[in-house]
Amino acid sequence: MTAHAAPVACEPSWPAWESFKKNFIDEEGRVIDNNTGDMRTTSEGQAYALFFALVANDRTTFDKLFNWTEINLAEGDLTTRLPAWLWGRREAGDWGILDENSASDADLWLAYTAGEAGRLWTDRRYVALSSLMANRILNVETAEVAHLGLVLLPGSNGFQEGGHVRLNPSYLPMQLMRWFANRSKDPRWTALTDSSLQIIVNASAQGYAPDWTLYDEKLGFVPVPETDKRGIGSYDAIRVYLWAGLLNRDDPARRLLTDRFKPMAQFISRQHSPPESIEISTGTAYNSGPVGFSAAVLPFLLASGLKDTALEQVRRLNASPPGAENYYDQVLTLYATGWLNKLYHFDLKGNLITRWISKCQ
């Protein structure tokens, strides 16, 4: 099974990554989402690109991306603050931070990738920055919640009110949680690992992951009332299936999650593509998802034993690859096809195993 396959050397040839760099990364190391009017950059985009650069052994691009992130999203110092999640063109026409709040999914990927870059490239600065960021995540992006324990909030501000907390299951990749728990030895990471799996499973009771969920101390997991009374899984939730599929085959969470999401796997088998959005309580779906969604579910379908359905998604992806302007589709495709073509995988402790490191050491 192949999608955009490429040979790998010490500097692996990865055409999809080269295309992403050309389309979305400027000379200074800023990832630009061209589909938005403010030509925005997000901490998430920077973190994802850093991960791909590490998988590609592209140190030059990695350093540019990291430097731009630190200078522009963290006021020049990631040792003292987490990055702002949104940067772009302001109404007055100047450029800068548009929202000071952090985004914990980006912070997880950034701290993880910095730590693994430090290990794989033997760079102590990145290891140290990773450790400092991990501690800051624990201190400003977590909260104790009744019946759940310590949970990862989506950001540092605005996600708790009274007896409920707003959560995003796609912000909780289990392989990263395991890596932090193993590396830091701080028991709070073990608590976060446990609560994260509980959130993903219990917020998806009917087998479909939501974009957002509200945890109420009395009612449990419920849809976010003011924006989404039905509970919708769409552009955020697609990553829940992606992260689940990328788990090491021996990780017990992999079997638990593929069992939980069997209804979604069966839906894709029946309809031949994932939905763009789905009501998580009823399974009512709306529209066929973009091609990036087909890429995202590839590892999940293979983990579920649905090779024929996965092949259908490969054919769809190869017949209509993501457009040059579609940032999110390309991100999902890079994650999925990089793994599919064995450019990287995660071991049982969450360590990143790249193809280039095994070829070049």
In the chain (361 residues long), the average pLDDT of successive 10-residue segments reads 53 89 98 85 99 98 99 96 96 94 99 99 98 98 96 96 92 99 96 98 97 93 71 96 99 98 98 97 95 99 98 97 93 98 98 88 59
CA distance 207 to 165: 22
* pLDDT for 77: 96
Query: In the structure encoding, which two tokens stand for residue 200, read together?
Result: 């993903």
The token duo for 187 is: 């028991």
Cα 301 to Cα 336: distance, rounded to the nearest angstrom: 11
Residue 337, judged by CB atoms within 10 A of its CB (0-12, 13-18, 19+), counts as buried
Assess contact for 241 and 296: CB atoms under 8 A. yes
Q: Do the Cβ atoms of 319 and 31 come closer than 8 Å?
A: no
d(CA 191, CA 181): 9
**pLDDT for the residue numbered 243:** 99
Q: How far is residue 313's CA from residue 319's CA, in Å, rounded to a whole number?
A: 10
Enumerate the active-site residues: 44, 105
Orientation of helix 43-55 relative to helix 104-121, angle to 10°: 30
- The residue to which tokens 């000379």 are assigned: 27
C-alpha 345/C-alpha 287 separation (Å) is 31
Q: Residue 7: what pLDDT?
A: 42
- Structural domains of the chain, with CATH: 1-140 (1.50.10.10)
**Tokens matching residue 80:** 């003292």
pLDDT number for residue 183? 96
Q: How high is the pLDDT of residue 5?
A: 44
Output the pTM of the full model.
0.95
Structure tokens at 245: 């599929």
CA distance 48 to 175: 15
- 């409920």: which residue's tokens? 164
The pLDDT of residue 326: 93
